Structure 1
């Protein structure tokens, strides 16, 4: 069975649970489950992309609550924690990063979220400082897009594991 067949045939509850490792917002997974069956991998990805773009801010906040601060290692042995550690593998705890996280959280009220795969500490700290100049509306749009990119990367990993 290939990955798309697996996504199409899994019971909705099981698929929804698996999708929460990609994005903890239940609405995201529910939208993907509801869009089945998929003809191919591109259709799964398109549904996931559309679902991420349509999340409410409350949904985004639910997803953000599942993300550790950048530079902190996710605890546990869940798939989501393992992926988070992998995505942040080039980012070690650092006083500059701690300060950037703190300033960001004080201004916006939630963790600084960035698509960290392939990015080093210097680039991430610079981006955090740059984003501190944003107003809340602009930052919400950026956060939602960063969440979308992370969810799509994790979806690809989930599909690869099933294929």
Structure 2
């Protein structure tokens, strides 16, 4: 897809495209209604503006679009080696140790139990060790603080997905 196609496709097709980037229905609706976009920068500006104007329930809906990384086998596969990482996003990642993987799984579960939603972080360019450090740093935060933190991370993820979409 390219920007011209996105600007001129049906509302249904545009919604489906935006849902690939973020599953907040309200955000997608606003993005569809704001078309056409002059260029990629305008699209990103609108994405940020519409994201900032949402409420906690919209953010929580967006977070539900991510799989929970809490199972050791999933984490083991994700951090097996640098070859498995998408598009060279992590250029100098060492293999994750079994201890790091198991701690990530345990702390992801603790985070979910504490906040009622999964740990959201823009993982691009981060090793398993860095992810664990971020998770552990955010574990003591209040739920309200974590909704804010996770919303900002989701915004970054959405931007990357918009780039990949076009």
Normalising by the smaller structure, the TM-score range is 0.7 to 0.9
**Equivalent position of 1:77 in the other structure:** none
- Structure 1 stretches of 4+ with a deviation exceeding 4 A read 87-93
Does residue 140 in structure 1 map to residue 147 in structure 2? yes
Q: For structure 2, list consecutive stretches of 5 or more residues without a partner in the other structure.
A: 75-84
Q: Kindly report the root-mean-square deviation, in angstroms, between the aligned alpha carbons of the 2 structures.
A: 2.3
Deviation for aligned residue 1:40 = 1.2
CA distance in 1, matches of 2:136, 2:113: 13
Q: TM-score, normalised by structure 2?
A: 0.80
Tell which has more relative contact order, 1 or 2 (C-alpha 8 A, sep 6+): 1
Deviation for aligned residue 1:29 = 1.1
CA distance 1:116–1:71, change in 2 (3 Å) = farther
Q: TM-score, normalised by structure 1?
A: 0.81
CA distance in 1, matches of 2:65, 2:143: 21
- Would you say the 8 A contact 1:70–1:113 is kept in 2? no
Does residue 117 in structure 1 map to residue 86 in structure 2? no
CA distance in 2, matches of 1:132, 1:125: 10
Deviation for aligned residue 1:71 = 6.3
Q: For structure 1, list consecutive stretches of 5 or more residues without a partner in the other structure.
A: 74-84
